[in-house]
A and B are shown apart, each in its own frame.
Chain A
Amino acid sequence: MFNQIIDQPELLPTNQLLQKHLNSSVYLTNNVWKVAFSPCSKYLAIPKQDIYGENCVLVVKCSNWNAKDIHTADLSVCQRFTCTSGIWSLAFGQRKTEESHSHQSTLLDPNNLLLPKTRRELLNRRRSSLSVVNRRHDFTKDLFLAAGLADGKINIWNIDTGELTLILKDHQSTVCGLDFTSCTMQLATCSHDTTIKLWDLLDDGNMYKTLNEWTHVINAVKWSPDETLLCAVGPYELVILYDTVTWEELHKFEGHLHSVVDCAFSSDSALLATASYDTQVILWSTITGEILKTFAHKIPMPLKIYAGGDNGAFVRSVVITKYNHNIITACDDNKIRWFSLALNDKSRMIYERTETNVLCVAMTVDGHTMAVSNRNGEVHLLSTLSTAGTCHPPPLKYFCRLLINTSLGTKRKEAFSLSLSQHLIKYLAYQDIKTK
């Protein structure tokens, strides 16, 4: 499809500056379970522990992570927040006002304006009479960082002013995953107390829903980029997709053989990648609910008894790159791998890189940089600008598909009733990358 130029992703010059800050003798080598980039791609949050036993989050600011010259790059630790207990999860959130709000209804049925199509619209309708003046905290403007702690609390800091704005206290146990929506400051948190809680920060942190159907921990939650879906993953092969307007279970995906620990949506919310301890990353279609591709990390695939148990190749983390070209995964066999989504039926890896004890991969929203963290307390910055697929603009069909899938919102099953040929409808549902 595209001519692939495979350029090795490289350590950035700014990586050296970052190491200088992180390796100072004040910090212990802790397991860095999660790092997070802000939506504006300028800030990176790293949890650390210092020698006095205090848990803290370092917020590193850099205007251009890919700067070629170390001396002009302005990487600095702009904030250091302390917490009362260990940090398990981190996420940045910022309210974004809708620029092109009108596109939701025109695609399918211009007359059907009665049903709220996305959570965003539902909230806007409910909230039209509420103003910031009546709220105790103003979450509408600045960039905020939320951290889920081991004692069940969630701390929310304002990055610009550095103050601890809010502490959300409802979970009974460790908050192991949290995620902000891309525009409306809704927070989903999941915890060792087996519940998922949803908080509306624009309503002063009001917790409006608890999902309470399990007797085991939920490992991670993620919102889809258009906010219509919430994905929850956990042990006993659990992968569930919820509709965020009605909170009914849309899909329960079966296919993993072990605990599922991480998930990622594509930018049009039509693809979901889940990473599991069974050495696989599975790519699901959120429209049809079927498996499109599986990416194996241990070849040959282990027998079921090992896939469901200790196999030495747990996949810890997965991200999908910009324009959905590639998937990047971090695996316990000390490797980070790049798999291509655009190539037709090969699920083979296009690049791998060794990183001992790697735990988490995170990408900037603009797709230029990624950060990799490991158990030795280190975080490395890599450039993703020149890896396969990013040198060439995607085909026009691709952009059309992204826009159509994003505009469908909660009505994505109705993609099948659009007046297009069968071949194009299958293309919209990503059947062209499905493994035959």
Chain B
Amino acid sequence: MPTDASGATSSNAYGGLEGPESMYLKLISSDGHEFVVRRDFAVTASPTIKNMLSGPGQYSESQPNEIYLKDIPSHVLINVCRYFAYKAKYTNSSIDIPEFPIDTNVVLELLVASDFLDC
């Protein structure tokens, strides 16, 4: 089984959470839920997350690949993670891009979160 070059443990093909070039990131919401997302999806979609990871050391998350988003509750952060996947799937796509579904109950908080994350 081929090993994944980016920080994988020896026998599986999935990337892990270790090291500076890990395949995944952990986003932690204000109420403690942990969301594991692909690093490349999150970094291309949100410049804020990219800055948090590569910033000049003031964000100490850069090593453990964990980002604490203390202003974003979990019911909002889950939609943000879904958006990262949607964006990665449909960027440079030649097929029709469908509308991203959002629930009306979370849309106001989601607007605030997306403004913070600039995505």
| Separation of A383 and B53 alpha carbons in the complex (Å) | 41
- Spot the interface stretch: A81-89, A144-152, A392-400: A392-400
| Separation of A424 and B114 alpha carbons in the complex (Å) | 11
A399 touches B100 (CB 8 A): yes
Q: Which of B81-119 contact A (CB under 8 A)?
A: 83, 86-87, 90-94, 96-97, 99-100, 102, 104-105, 107-108, 110-112, 114-115, 117, 119
B111 touches A404 (CB 8 A): yes
A400 touches B97 (CB 8 A): no
How many of chain B's residues touch chain A, expressed as a range? 20 to 34
B114 touches A385 (CB 8 A): no
The size of the chain A interface, using a CB distance under 8 A, is 30
| Separation of A427 and B87 alpha carbons in the complex (Å) | 21
Q: Contact partner of A400 among B86, B92, B107, CB < 8 A?
A: B107
| Separation of A107 and B105 alpha carbons in the complex (Å) | 7
A404 touches B107 (CB 8 A): yes
CB of B72 within 8 Å of the partner chain = no
B97 touches A390 (CB 8 A): yes
CB of B80 within 8 Å of the partner chain = yes
Q: If the complex has contacts A393-B87, A399-B99, are A103 and B104 also in contact, measured as CB distance less than 8 A?
A: yes
Shortest CB-to-CB span from B79 to chain A, Å, is 8
CB of A354 within 8 Å of the partner chain = no
B104 touches A400 (CB 8 A): no
> What are the residues of chain B within 8 A of A396 when measuring CB–CB?
80, 83, 100, 110, 114, 117, 119
| Separation of A367 and B104 alpha carbons in the complex (Å) | 24
Shortest CB-to-CB span from B20 to chain A, Å, is 26
A404 touches B97 (CB 8 A): no
Q: Contact partner of B94 among A100, A366, A385, A395, CB < 8 A?
A: A385
> What are the residues of chain B within 8 A of A385 when measuring CB–CB?
94, 96
CB of A123 within 8 Å of the partner chain = no
> What are the residues of chain B within 8 A of A421 when measuring CB–CB?
112
CB of A106 within 8 Å of the partner chain = yes
Q: If the complex has contacts A393-B91, A395-B119, A404-B108, are A366 and B96 also in contact, measured as CB distance less than 8 A?
A: yes
Chain A 69-112 interface 0/1 with B at a Cβ cutoff of 8 Å (1 = within): 00000000000000000000000000000001001001100000
Determine the residue in chain B with the shortest Cβ distance to A407: B104
A401 touches B111 (CB 8 A): yes
Shortest CB-to-CB span from B24 to chain A, Å, is 20
Could you tell me which B residues sit within 8 Å of A by CB distance? 80, 83, 86-87, 90-94, 96-97, 99-100, 102, 104-105, 107-108, 110-112, 114-115, 117, 119
Q: List 13 A-B contacts (CB under 8 A).
A: A100-B104, A107-B104, A367-B96, A392-B90, A392-B91, A396-B80, A400-B108, A400-B114, A403-B104, A403-B107, A404-B107, A421-B112, A428-B111
